[in-house]
Amino acid sequence: MITKEEVKQKALEIGFADAGFAQSTPFESQREFLTNDYYGWTQSVGIDLWKGLDPQNIFPDSRSIIVLLYSYFESSIPPLLQKYYGRCYLNDDRVTRDGLFTLVKKFRDFLKSNGINSKVANYMPDKLAAMRAGVGTSGKNTLLYARSAAGGSSFVFPVVVLVDYDFSPDAPSIGNGCPSWCRNACIAACPTKALLGNGKINPQRCISYLTYYGEGVTPLELREPMGLYIYGCDRCQNVCPRNTSWLYERKDSTERFISMEEDFMPEKILLMDREYFQTKIWPYMFYMSFNDVWRWRMNAARAMGNSRDERFIPYLEKALESFDDERVRIMCIWALGRIGGSSALKILENIRLQNTNADLAEEINLAMENCNS
């Protein structure tokens, strides 16, 4: 029968950065973690983290776990894309099928050809699985850091594969791998104070969460701290000393990212229609459907406001003329106030004359005060 060494070698040949093996037993330590108030929202968006506590709930025949590490920051990403988007989200290929999806399929086909059935385990505690399999350690920013792949950085994505074959487990990674001298750089850099220390996070204050799961209009106190990010966030990774060598590693550019750069700019996102979304955005950013286009537009408007760039004013004005969604309109109004200047003030004055909505009136008055300050 096939050996662990042969399986790992095949994973590396296919394109994964590392692979490890672990026992297929429940993750009981995660149970207490899920009982806090921070994760109640997961059920409402169809993420069943409780089911993922036991591998047998996902694949009853599971006897071992194989954890594959995918290094998603291998190519140079244009600075403008990194300015507005988290790096890992730019590598989503569940529609294009030209990246991770293809690698996973090749790996599972290899297992099948050797008589091993498998299942990719969604919603399992993948960081804990990776640590159990010895391929990574935890960071103070709650992310997984590779044991050796990608320069030992956090720019990796763990893929948990359950198999109906007994492989001997690898030695697990223990605890937090962060150096004592880093001075909690990630915690200090988190603008929304989502990182709580001791490897804990309030996901509902995390910028990544807010950009694609946040309910309703972004709270006023979080709009400015969220900065320019439209989708995702890399702040805690960018300041981490464990990532320094990989951040500055020379990387080749790819046509994929070059072609995305213009299509993903804030003004295009703010004013996009269904056809633009389906052809330019959705194939690369699978997580939000067109039903959530309001969230895309709201995030783009906030990024425009935080840029303080007057060139965005005409786009914000156009959005206010074109869209009825109150969440989008509120953020466009806020953005005009954040940018300020006579042009923005004139638009706000016109909106105030036409407005009959009490909630909008409050936002308009606040934005006009900001313009005048």
215-245 pLDDT, tens digit per residue, is 899 999 999 999 999 999 999 999 999 999 9
Domain carrying residue 359: 265-373
Same domain for 147 and 289, yes or no, is no
For position 359, what pLDDT does the model report? 84
Same domain for 157 and 292, yes or no, is no
Pairwise CA distance, residues 124 & 120, whole Å:
10
Give mean pLDDT, residues 295-317.
98
Pairwise CA distance, residues 79 & 324, whole Å:
33
The CATH number given to whatever domain includes residue 328 is: 1.25.10.10
Same domain for 145 and 292, yes or no, is no
Domain boundary among 163, 196, 225: 163
Indicate whether 46 pLDDT > 80.
no
Same domain for 151 and 293, yes or no, is no
**Cβ(99)–Cβ(284) under 8 Å?**
no
Which DSSP letter does residue 66 get? E
Judge whether 178 lies within some domain.
Answer: no
Pairwise CA distance, residues 196 & 202, whole Å:
7
Which DSSP letter does residue 127 get? H
The letter for the amino acid at 331 is M
Indicate whether 311 pLDDT > 90.
yes
Judge whether 179 lies within some domain.
Answer: no
Indicate whether 320 pLDDT > 80.
yes
**Cβ(138)–Cβ(177) under 8 Å?**
yes
Give mean pLDDT, residues 188-217.
92
Percentage of the chain exceeding pLDDT 70: 98
Pairwise CA distance, residues 275 & 280, whole Å:
8
Same domain for 154 and 17, yes or no, is yes
Domain boundary among 134, 163, 192: 163
Indicate whether 139 pLDDT > 70.
yes
Judge whether 78 lies within some domain.
Answer: no
71 bridge partner residues = 156
Same domain for 156 and 9, yes or no, is yes
Region label for 232, one of left (φ > 0), alpha (ψ between -120 and 50) or beta (otherwise) = left
End-to-end CA gap in the chain: 74
Indicate whether 37 pLDDT > 70.
no
Domain boundary among 129, 163, 197: 163
Among 231, 104, 224, which residue's Cα sits nearest to residue 157?
A: 104
The letter for the amino acid at 42 is T
Give mean pLDDT, residues 248-263.
86
Judge whether 291 lies within some domain.
Answer: yes
Pairwise CA distance, residues 27 & 174, whole Å:
15
Judge whether 249 lies within some domain.
Answer: no
Judge whether 55 lies within some domain.
Answer: yes
In this prediction, residue 373 has a pLDDT band, given cuts at 50, 70 and 90, of confident
Same domain for 9 and 157, yes or no, is yes
Q: What is the pTM of this model?
A: 0.93
Judge whether 180 lies within some domain.
Answer: no
Pairwise CA distance, residues 119 & 96, whole Å:
21
> In residues, how long is the chain?
373
Read off φ and ψ for residue 234, nearest 5 degrees.
Answer: -125, 15
Q: Count structural domains, the chain.
A: 2
In this prediction, residue 317 has a pLDDT band, given cuts at 50, 70 and 90, of very high
For position 12, what pLDDT does the model report? 97
Same domain for 151 and 20, yes or no, is yes
Region label for 200, one of left (φ > 0), alpha (ψ between -120 and 50) or beta (otherwise) = beta
Judge whether 257 lies within some domain.
Answer: no
- Cα-based distances in Å from 187 to 83, 233, 248: 20, 14, 22
3-state percent helix, strand, coil for the chain, nearest multiple of 5: 50, 10, 35
Same domain for 153 and 281, yes or no, is no
For position 95, what pLDDT does the model report? 67
